[in-house]
């Protein structure tokens, strides 16, 4: 690896790797089959300091850097991508947004329990008719004295059912487009907040993805995150960090697919020899490993830039784009290299392939990442 990891980063990586392989991996296939949310595992990750990784210790967090976070999330995803997505949304979008934009009171009330995993966080921006274009969302927040009254439906919300609070975006001024969007922290026990349909998904089946319906939900003014009109920026900045998380998740799943394939190729014989001896298959494995390493470097580079407090929007989108497309290629090859066994539930590559499919879709599709990247290129005055 080109960046030299510190002793602390290496220690975190080893600790999560051990936990992931000993505690998370053994039951991952069963959880996927039963669509069982990894509540107990996330609780333990919270106790170990992995649910508020980049939150400073004064708010109960671990005060770790983004590089450590990438390493940890990849290790969790290696065993269970469903656990990793809940961990990613919670750490990257929820905790970091409250840390950056929350008041002291909000940090006290919400960030502290989030950072130890006492409650889980969700982020609700997508709606049935507003996915890639969140400016056209129709959830509305109308101020009434000391409260805002929220009405609308959010869709595809990760941890929608099992979260304790949700950061929700809504329109406060229709005509102002993105400057008319405001974010609120809403606890799940707030009257009028209903958990709707739980999606029956192709992959990430142990993670819950639901509608969240807001029916005259009264949110106190002190739960508004940032100022009125700051919501779009808060969401976009949260998604920058979130996209590094999805890239890390992609790397973990891809590495798991590669390792399973190498192990299989070392055991499986055809035509009187191990299939690992066939050059055609060896070259596929070489391409898989090279692509994973490229994604890892791109993702760590974005993480380093974030840790240096540089603008990393471009690098986060590049990492998310490349890593999520990479894991789809790698898991497809892993299934292919397993032959018929790659197509059945007993072998983990079948799950990796299904789980990876959504990575090019959520937290900004590949097409949206290309919009972000090309906008940056053409905005640069040096580009002809
Ligand atoms: N950081 C800070 N500010 C940003 C920003 C960023 N990364 N990106 C945009 N902004 C600001 C711009 O500077 C601009 O502000 P000013 O007017 O003050 O200059 C404002 O936001 C509007 O920017 P754009 O004109 O670029 O906005 P746009 O409407 O053209 O949209 C977009 C840009 C990139 C397409 C954006 O809409 C986008 O990212 N869409 C995808 C949404 C997405 O990722 N959805 C997934 C939801 S989460 C999820 O998947 C669920 C889950 O739980 C896993």
In this model, does residue 384 exceed pLDDT 80? no
**pTM (2 decimals)?**
0.96
Q: Is 363 labeled as catalytic in the residue annotation? A: yes
pLDDT value for 3: 82
Residue 158 beta carbon below 6 angstroms from any ligand 1 atom: yes
**What whole-number percentage of the chain has pLDDT above 70?**
98
In this model, does residue 1 exceed pLDDT 90? no
Q: Going by C-beta distance under 8 Å and a sequence separation of 6 or more, which residues neighbour residue 308?
A: none
pLDDT value for 312: 97
Give the integer Cα–Cα distance in Å for 17 and 3: 19
Give the integer Cα–Cα distance in Å for 266 and 281: 11
**How many other C-beta atoms are found inside a 10 Å radius of the C-beta of residue 4?**
7
Mean per-residue pLDDT, 207-227 = 98
| Cβ atoms 342, 30 nearer than 8 A | no
Query: In testing the pocket of ligand 1, which one of 208, 226, 236 has its CB within 8 Å of the most ligand atoms?
Result: 236
pLDDT in tens, 259-296: 999 999 999 999 999 999 999 999 999 999 999 999 99
Residue 359 beta carbon below 6 angstroms from any ligand 1 atom: no
Query: Tokens at residue 310, please?
Result: 């540089």
Query: In testing the pocket of ligand 1, which one of 91, 135, 137, 233 has its CB within 8 Å of the most ligand atoms?
Result: 233
Q: Which of 218, 211, 1, 253 is nearest to 122 (CA)?
A: 211
Q: Which of 91, 64, 65 is nearest to 77 (CA)?
A: 91
What is the number of the ligand 1 atom nearest to the C-alpha of 88?
Answer: 54
What is the number of the ligand 1 atom nearest to the C-alpha of 157?
Answer: 53
In this model, does residue 380 exceed pLDDT 70? no
Mean per-residue pLDDT, 331-340 = 98
**What whole-number percentage of the chain has pLDDT above 90?**
97
Categorize the per-residue pLDDT at 382 as very low, low, confident or very high, splitting at 50, 70 and 90. Answer: low
């Amino acid at each position: 690896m080109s960046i030299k990891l510190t002793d602390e980063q290496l220690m975190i990586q080893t600790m999560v790797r051990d936990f992931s392989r000993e505690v998370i991996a053994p039951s991952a296939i069963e959880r996927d089959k039963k669509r069982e949310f990894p509540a107990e595992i996330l609780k333990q990750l919270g106790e170990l300091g992995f649910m508020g990784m980049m939150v400073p210790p004064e708010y109960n967090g671990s005060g770790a850097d983004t590089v450590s976070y990438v390493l940890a999330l990849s290790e969790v995803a290696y065993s269970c991508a469903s656990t990793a997505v809940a961990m990613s949304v919670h750490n990257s979008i929820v905790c970091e947004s409250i840390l950056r934009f929350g008041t002291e009171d909000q940090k006290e009330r919400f960030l502290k329990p989030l950072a130890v995993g006492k409650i889980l966080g969700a982020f609700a921006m997508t709606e049935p008719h507003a996915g890639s274009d969140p400016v056209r969302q129709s959830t509305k927040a109308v101020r009434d004295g000391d409260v805002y009254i929220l009405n609308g439906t959010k869709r595809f919300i990760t941890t929608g059912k099992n979260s304790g609070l949700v950061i929700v975006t809504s329109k406060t001024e229709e005509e102002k487009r993105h400057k008319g969007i405001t974010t609120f922290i809403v606890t799940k026990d707030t009257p009028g907040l209903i958990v709707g349909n739980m999606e029956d998904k192709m992959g990430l089946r142990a993670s819950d993805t639901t509608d969240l319906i807001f029916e005259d939900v009264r949110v106190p003014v002190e739960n508004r995150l940032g100022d009125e009109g700051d919501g779009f920026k808060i969401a976009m900045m949260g998604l920058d960090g979130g996209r590094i998380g999805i890239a890390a998740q992609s790397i973990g799943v891809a590495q798991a697919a590669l390792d399973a394939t190498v192990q299989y190729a070392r055991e499986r014989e055809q035509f009187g020899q191990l299939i690992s001896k066939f050059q055609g298959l060896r070259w596929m494995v070489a391409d898989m490993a090279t692509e994973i390493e490229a994604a890892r470097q791109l993702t760590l580079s974005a993480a380093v830039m974030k840790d240096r407090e540089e603008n990393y929007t471009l690098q986060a989108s590049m990492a998310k784009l490349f890593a999520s497309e990479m894991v789809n290629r790698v898991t497809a090859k892993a299934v292919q290299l397993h032959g018929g066994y790659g197509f059945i539930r007993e072998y983990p590559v079948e799950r990796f392939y299904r789980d990876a499919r959504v990575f090019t879709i959520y937290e900004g599709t590949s097409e949206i990442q290309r919009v972000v990247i090309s906008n940056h290129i053409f905005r640069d005055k040096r580009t002809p």
